[in-house]
Structure 1
């Protein structure tokens, strides 16, 4: 077999190996989508995508401080697979697979297929990549776009084909619509253009240099210009630029602290760090344009983190991509040296070989710790407060209710919406002054949410809003002073009652009327009913409310009985003159015949079954109150 045939066969096998590796990665990740904690950031992106999927306009109605393309990626996943956490996470897995491919092709360009395959494996085994590749957050997608841009610029250097330059600029521009943290990656792309036109040539062909520069800049600007045309400059400035500028003023830059944190992160990934450092040292003597591009990529990512404010842990994941490329080059170098053992080895080559083997041994030594981290990431460390709050919201609120929360993941998992202007109550946004007490109060008044949930302590930064909440909502559950659920909203005149109706129950309870929601009603559906009560006197006993659906012959067809406000507000706790909003969901049987039905309500003592006497309008005589008719249709 000729050398060329062996080369072709080797490349083919390597491509197949990479394809199999990517398939294994996607299948593995798709089967472990729940192995991620309920983080604030993930909840934020999920709830924003939920609102956009529901028809609300990004930036004009929905508050969001990052680019739009990531949100629409999640919305597309919702369209295809349903509105769930797993659907959102799966689209990140696909971005991560593309990122692995881009890393492999970048390393392959530098040092052959052994480097490419090794780089993909190193990135895939990094615990932080495993964590972020299943989180609905833009960090992995934006790093994927940056790596695609770098890979394309290397292809441009090798072939001179301007299509690769066009693709590099476009991938960078797309990345900017995910997250602006990609901006420093433009330096390596620009360096590739300059390196393709050396100084002697640049004096003679400055027009081509200017043309290539304009090409990459134009390709990078196209996505942004389209975004500007769609949303307008004012909403983009208010939501993207202003919060970033104000946040930098609110969080003073501390490069020393950032550097220490980055150092700790590199030590936590010591095996990969050692390989990346040695890979960089192996490449530097080549003094090629490709090496300059890769070196500048790693350098700008590192410097961007040092000067990032505020710096969060998930930002560190951007380091993994260039580190994996450099680390993969070590494997490629070793493979090349060990492939020809019969060649004489000088003392210099021998030392390089031993250091390379030592770097690999160091990485292998850290693998048990890495695999241990993997096992801990397979099960989401969700707090009991989050699960309990999610269960509470799902039980006590209705599907179309608004919920205000400083933990958006709870609202999303409870299948409830957050008011569009209040999707991002992050510390960064609050500290920057983009979300104030007045803004929160005004939006809460406008959207009339049924519950206010704060679990993460972010709302404690807005004390006037919390004081307002305590005045207008009832405290339903308290975990501690920084984590509480307020439900329901206190009702004050004038009453927003659809169907006013007066009746008196017993000696101290007045029925004021009711609301009916979500008509028309169908078999197997639900009747959403709101009752309004008022305490005329102090009530000593606790009563249970009954809501019955009767057919034309007075037979019971459906019912829902429970103490007022799901037991959160028993009648003995009612204050004199207080108005109680009491909501019920009456499930309709699937085989319920179409027709007109009557709703009757009232109260009784659970221990004896004795109903309270009703006095008032004709519909309220005896021991029940008859409400309006309900039409059930097919």
Structure 2
């Protein structure tokens, strides 16, 4: 009964978080046409998968399969609406917040945990990413759950938690592979950073067993999912597109240092608290604090070298920053409130740190990132010809999702990465047009690039009638003659 009561209480906390976000962000969740182009890609892949098309062999897909499959089942239950899809992401965010809070609370107490959780929740674009149909946050949520399950093992020494942690981390990798850098860090977390054990050259049997219990389920589940969805036979989609990105210094996303600095500038106050926390970790020898510190250093090094760099990678560093900030809050709290005899000299440094923190809060510039442009006139045209449409060709598949229309699965993802890497050529695009003969064409993102190919343009002019173009020619709508 006690376990059931605890489970219900924890479930209520997660639902309260979801309810809170729904209350403060109901209008954006329900009415924003598209937060990011990735929303359209994820939604149309899900729609096509639900229509019976297979990932990789039919639907071009440069990401692991799990999120698409999960979202498909979710929308089958709750309806194919943008609100339902965003609600699933919000539930993942609630799970991440829950694990994050409990990890910190068990070591540092409720005040540092609550403060760090609020910092994470209010970090740059976290709320927006909590309601955007994108795969980064679900992957991080599952990774945090994996770490939290290891933490539960350390509390009660039930190896079931280690096995479940390995399975959960496999699910994280099969959602988005960018959490793979945490694997070696989690190895150290499993052995609890026991430096003496390593130095003795006699790694205990217990450590070997625990590591195997985590790694074997991880590898097994990851491989089984990959084999089932034929993921490993299409490495060109999963790997080549991401690695073969030629430099484009005209975009801020290829200027890693400048773009990363721009992102970090939104949370200078949090970073300052994290620096205090890092000092407290080494000063007071908080062994568990080494994990978020190693996470932060590793993530920063990766983001400084990975190109292109996208804003939705920011939680990779926001999570450890806020985690480390909890140690800073604990240090300041102990300095001000936990000493029976207050020594004025001892309060000088903590007081100065608080003043600096307040100043950084004031100086941190707001830099919100709006949703991508929408064109309701285009949407109305798509709906107008919906009944006579079997296929729609579009470089912005969110229009197809709202209309519940199929796009040729080969071009479900017409992303910047795919075009920039040369994985999708003009000839291939023209071949798709000739194969499917879509009754509608909507150009809304890569219009100039697509029309720069003379063969593509000639085919459209010969077979389609233009029904709409905006004032600058960047958005167009065509129907089959």
TM-score category (smaller protein): 0.7 to 0.9
Q: Secondary structure at the match of 1:280?
A: helix
Contact 1:120 1:324 in 2 (8 A): yes
* Structure whose CA Rg is larger: 1
**How far is 1:91 from its partner?**
0.3
Confirm whether residue 31 of structure 1 aligns to residue 32 of structure 2: no
Q: Secondary structure at the match of 2:306?
A: coil
Cα distance, 1:483–1:171 mapped onto 2, change above 3 Å: same
* C-alpha distance in structure 1 between counterparts of 2:310 and 2:457, whole Å: 27
Aligned equivalent of 1:405: 394
Which of 282, 287, 290 is residue 288 of structure 2 equivalent to? Answer: 290
Confirm whether residue 393 of structure 1 aligns to residue 353 of structure 2: no
* C-alpha distance in structure 1 between counterparts of 2:296 and 2:153, whole Å: 19
Deviations 1:16-48 (A, max 9, x none): 996686255344267241364522111110111
**How far is 1:287 from its partner?**
3.3
Contact 1:96 1:141 in 2 (8 A): yes
**How far is 1:49 from its partner?**
0.8
Unmatched 5+ residue regions in structure 1?
1-10, 491-634
Greater fraction of residues in strand? 1
Contact 1:67 1:240 in 2 (8 A): yes
Contact 1:139 1:314 in 2 (8 A): yes
Cα distance, 1:119–1:288 mapped onto 2, change above 3 Å: closer
* C-alpha distance in structure 2 between counterparts of 1:52 and 1:308, whole Å: 30
Contact 1:475 1:485 in 2 (8 A): yes
Cα distance, 1:254–1:412 mapped onto 2, change above 3 Å: closer
Confirm whether residue 280 of structure 1 aligns to residue 269 of structure 2: no
Aligned equivalent of 2:478: 487
Contact 2:18 2:91 in 1 (8 A): no
Q: For residues 241-390 of structure 1, what are the structure 2 equivalents within 5 Å?
A: 241-247=239-245, 257-345=255-343, 347=345, 349-358=346-355, 360-362=357-359, 365=362, 381=371, 383=373, 386-390=375-379
Q: Secondary structure at the match of 1:188?
A: helix
* C-alpha distance in structure 2 between counterparts of 1:87 and 1:430, whole Å: 30
Instruction: Name whichever of 40-49 and 147-156 sits farther off.
Output: 147-156
Confirm whether residue 469 of structure 1 aligns to residue 460 of structure 2: yes
Q: Secondary structure at the match of 1:476?
A: strand
Which of 24, 38, 42 is residue 41 of structure 1 equivalent to? Answer: 38
Aligned equivalent of 2:129: 132
Aligned equivalent of 1:82: 79
Contact 2:140 2:179 in 1 (8 A): yes
Confirm whether residue 443 of structure 1 aligns to residue 432 of structure 2: yes
Deviations 1:365-415 (A, max 9, x none): 369x76xx7xx78xx75635x222111111123275211111111222233
Aligned equivalent of 1:238: 236
* C-alpha distance in structure 2 between counterparts of 1:25 and 1:420, whole Å: 37
Deviations 1:513-534 (A, max 9, x none): xxxxxxxxxxxxxxxxxxxxxx
Confirm whether residue 57 of structure 1 aligns to residue 54 of structure 2: yes
Unmatched 5+ residue regions in structure 2?
1-5
Deviations 1:200-228 (A, max 9, x none): 46633444333333222213213311112
* C-alpha distance in structure 2 between counterparts of 1:273 and 1:37, whole Å: 33
Instruction: Name whichever of 18-27 and 171-180 sits farther off.
Output: 18-27
Which of 17, 41, 47 is residue 22 of structure 1 equivalent to? Answer: 17
The structure with higher relative contact order (CA 8 Å, sep 6+) is 2
Deviations 1:560-587 (A, max 9, x none): xxxxxxxxxxxxxxxxxxxxxxxxxxxx
Instruction: Name whichever of 115-124 and 233-242 sits farther off.
Output: 233-242
Q: Secondary structure at the match of 2:476?
A: strand
**How far is 1:153 from its partner?**
4.0
Deviations 1:411-430 (A, max 9, x none): 22233221111101112101
* C-alpha distance in structure 2 between counterparts of 1:104 and 1:129, whole Å: 15
Normalization by structure 1: what TM-score? 0.67
Confirm whether residue 101 of structure 1 aligns to residue 98 of structure 2: yes
* C-alpha distance in structure 1 between counterparts of 2:361 and 2:12, whole Å: 21
Aligned equivalent of 1:505: none
* C-alpha distance in structure 1 between counterparts of 2:103 and 2:248, whole Å: 36
Superposition RMSD in Å:
3.2
Greater fraction of residues in helix? 2
Normalization by structure 2: what TM-score? 0.87
Confirm whether residue 122 of structure 1 aligns to residue 111 of structure 2: no
**How far is 1:97 from its partner?**
0.6
* C-alpha distance in structure 2 between counterparts of 1:269 and 1:305, whole Å: 17
* C-alpha distance in structure 2 between counterparts of 1:163 and 1:399, whole Å: 55
